[in-house]
């Protein structure tokens, strides 16, 4: 048994009083909505497993609506997904002794091998609130006695806008989710993207660094609205030349154009989602989630959204997604981020490292993000929830 108090060492937590909950949140934050699946990847009647914040869940689409329950039989703890048995549309039966649960409520409604048990009708597995939006299946990972907030409080502003057409893809990444979030929000890390195919592809500018003015970073913490840290690049000092001992050794890409060629802002929102404005191209917004799976894995849920006002615009953007933004954005530009996160994980897997790192001035927005999480997250996921 892993005792609860050794999840993260108390002595370390005490050293970061302003963001100790963030340091503790190896498995993410509890009582939040997380995207776990693409809507297109769960057809009617299909049963699909997922792991979020360390909890193994099972999803099924029934009459169009996705339901989610804990993927673990109450009786002896085996996973339903080892061998799925669904004898009726609305139930799932454990392959081991025939314990049968309702998808909607999780309630134990029958035990095939023991039809007279008193447990029937009285017990149930955890069921999870599910909501679909913009082609993603969101699951609320939380306590049973908590009032479920609307999804709109857990996604960045504009994501749910009706005229926003969204396309998405999901990747597994071998790093903690916080390493993903911090790499994404980090204004300096553009350094690694200077050679990305995306730069010539979009004919846009890309500096080798840009430094936040920490006084101008905006905190969104209004009651009942998404909580986030917003960093407008207009407030930044961009760096176009990289110098070693006074000599320029690398340069960014600076285009002269009569139209705007720059990404304009990055913002990061609870529970784990980044918004990048005017990226990968003008008038497109990238929203990306770093969904906690385990202490050393996250689901990288990437989406791009564009406002469309006609079917043709919608179809054009769809075509563009498959031909440009997925291969050149997600799978070239963002693959560089994945590489960085895997490298970071070797260091940050050790809890001590969070206190040993040497952040600099340009990292101020990251500290604001940690503090925002500490202050506004609805709970810390812990081993006892698993």
* Residues near a copy of itself, by CB under 8 A: 1, 3, 8-9, 12, 72, 74-79, 82, 87-88, 91, 93, 95-98, 100, 109-119, 123, 186, 188-192, 208-209, 211, 237, 239, 242-245, 247, 249-250, 340, 343-344, 346-348, 350-353, 356-362
Cα 137 from chain centre: 12
β-strands 55-62, 47-52: how paired? Answer: antiparallel
Distance CA 354, CA 331 (A): 29
Q: For CA atoms 282, 270, 8, 177, give the dihedral sign.
A: negative
Q: Which is nearer to a copy of itself, 318 or 351 (CB)?
A: 351
* Closest approach of a copy of itself to the CB of residue 188, in Å: 4
Question: From the CB of 332, what's the least distance to a copy of itself, in Å?
Answer: 16
User: Rounded distance, CA 310 to CA 344, Å?
Assistant: 43
Closest distance between a copy of itself and the C-beta of residue 294, in Å?
14
By C-beta, is 274 or 301 nearer to a copy of itself? 274
Q: How far is the CB of 31 from a copy of itself (least distance, A)?
A: 22
Cβ 74 to a copy of itself shortest distance, Å: 4
Q: What is the DSSP string of 42-87?
A: S-BT-EEEEEETTEEEEEEEETTEEEEEESS-TTT---GGGS-B-S
The minimum distance between CB 225 and a copy of itself, in angstroms, equals 31
Q: Is 241 exposed, middle or buried (0-12, 13-18, 19+ CB in 10 A)?
A: middle
The sign one gets for the Cα dihedral 187, 202, 342, 138 is: positive
DSSP string, 257-280: -SS--S--EEEEETTTEEEEET-S
Q: For residue 25, give Cα distances in angstroms to 36, 54, 135, 206.
A: 18, 11, 27, 33
Residue among 103 and 287 whose Cβ is closer to a copy of itself? 103
3-state secondary structure of 219: strand
* Residue whose CB is less far from a copy of itself, 378 or 385: 385
Q: How many other C-beta atoms can be found within 10 angstroms of the C-beta atom of residue 77?
A: 8
Name which of 110 and 132 has its Cβ closer to a copy of itself: 110
Q: Which is nearer to a copy of itself, 165 or 263 (CB)?
A: 263
In the complex, what is the shortest distance from the CB of residue 162 to a copy of itself, in angstroms, rounded to a whole number?
A: 38
Characterize 150-187 residue by residue with b for buried, 16 or more Cβ atoms within 10 angstroms of its Cβ, and e for exposed. ebebbbbeebeeeebbbbbbbeebebbbbbbbbbbbbb
Beta carbons of 192 and 199 less than 8 angstroms apart: no
| Beta carbon of residue 66, minimum distance to a copy of itself (angstroms, whole number) | 21
Q: Identify which of residues 77 and 224 has a Cβ nearer to a copy of itself in the complex.
A: 77
Q: Rank residues 198 and 284 by Cβ distance to a copy of itself and give the closer one.
A: 198
């Amino acid at each position: 048994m892993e005792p609860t108090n050794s999840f993260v060492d108390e002595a370390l937590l005490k050293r970061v009083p302003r963001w100790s909950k963030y340091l503790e949140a190896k498995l993410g934050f509890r009582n939040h909505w997380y995207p776990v699946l693409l809507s297109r990847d769960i057809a009617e009647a299909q049963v699909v497993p997922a792991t979020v914040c360390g909890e193994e869940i099972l999803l099924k689409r029934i009459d169009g609506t996705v339901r989610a329950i804990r993927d673990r039989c109450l009786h002896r703890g085996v996973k339903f997904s080892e061998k799925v048995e669904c004898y009726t549309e609305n139930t799932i039966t454990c392959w081991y002794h025939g314990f049968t649960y309702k998808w909607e409520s999780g309630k134990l409604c029958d035990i095939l091998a023991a039809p007279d048990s008193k447990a029937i009708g009285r017990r149930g597995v955890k069921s999870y609130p599910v909501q679909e939006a913009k082609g993603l299946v969101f699951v609320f990972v939380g306590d049973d006695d908590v009032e479920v907030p609307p999804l709109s409080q857990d996604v960045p502003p504009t994501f749910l806008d009706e005229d926003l057409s969204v396309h998405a893809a999901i990747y597994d990444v071998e790093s903690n989710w916080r390493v993903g979030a911090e790499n994404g929000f980090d204004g300096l890390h553009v350094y690694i993207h200077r050679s990305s195919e995306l730069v010539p592809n979009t004919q846009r500018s890309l500096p080798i660094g840009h430094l936040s003015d920490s006084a101008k970073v905006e905190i969104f913490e209004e009651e009942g609205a998404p909580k986030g840290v917003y960093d407008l690049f207009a407030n930044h000092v961009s760096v176009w030349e990289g110098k070693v001992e006074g000599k320029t050794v690398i340069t960014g890409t600076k285009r002269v154009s009569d139209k705007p060629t720059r990404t304009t802002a990055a913002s990061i929102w609870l529970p784990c989602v980044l918004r990048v404005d005017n990226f990968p191209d003008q008038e497109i917004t990238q929203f990306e989630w770093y969904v906690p799976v385990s202490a050393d894995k996250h689901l990288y849920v990437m989406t791009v959204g564009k406002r469309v006002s006609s079917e043709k615009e919608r179809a054009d953007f769809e075509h563009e997604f498959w031909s440009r933004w997925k291969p050149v954005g997600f799978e070239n530009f963002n693959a560089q981020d994945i590489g960085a996160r895997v490298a970071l994980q070797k260091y940050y897997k050790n809890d001590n490292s969070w206190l040993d790192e040497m952040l600099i001035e340009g990292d101020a927005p990251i500290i604001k993000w940690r503090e925002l999480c500490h202050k506004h997250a609805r709970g810390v996921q812990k081993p006892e929830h698993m």
